[in-house]
Amino acid sequence: DELRLYLAVKNIRIVAPIPGKSTIGIEVPNSMREDVFLGDILHQNLSLRPKKDLSILIGKDISGKLVSIDLNKLPHLLVAGTTGSGKSVCLNSMISSLVVHLSPEEVRFIMIDPKMVELTLYEDIPHLLMPVITDPKKATRALAWAIQEMEARYHSVSKLKCRDFKTYNEKVEQGAHRDGYKKMPYIVIFIDELADLMMVSGKDLEDAITRITQK
């Protein structure tokens, strides 16, 4: 409290000790906040982004460097929050990050939007595997298809003796496609208002999601 009073700020964060040093750090917020716009960081990232990367930009750190998360290392993500807290903005930012940098040959989407509000605006993008799904019954069937596709892909990855999907595609690029194998795009599934969807679809949908997230 005395430090906050002396520095005339509402909050501070203390890092004690700083990793690798015998000192402590005191993080003080700027008096003027900087607005971070998605378009700006996407443009800034064009020259920095590795090819075929599934990273999603989420903002900047305290030093102004871009912060991203890699869906290869974070394959199952649940976004939760109160009404108006920015869940939809977060979801749209994720989709935009992938669409801007990856072609339909590199990533494809399955979008489920039972309320027909947030995801239907992506109806015409070429990355969609199927039209945006608004019917709960069709959503369950789409996830059942995704499970079959997932199992088939795991079989192909195993046949080429690869440990992951990225290594599989790299092997195919190096010539394994001559044996009947072909490159496969990543598939990312977006579900808006999952709680509402599960109330309508029940156990079948829950079982399908469980199967996917177990892999």
**Binding-site residues for ATP:** 81-88
Joined tokens for residue 53: 């990367």
* Residues making up the binding site: 81-88
The β-bridge relationship of strands 186-191 and 25-27 is unpaired
According to the 3-state scheme, what is the secondary structure of 54-66? CEEEEEECCCCCE
How far apart CA 195 and CA 190 sit, in angstroms, is: 13
How far apart CA 23 and CA 15 sit, in angstroms, is: 9
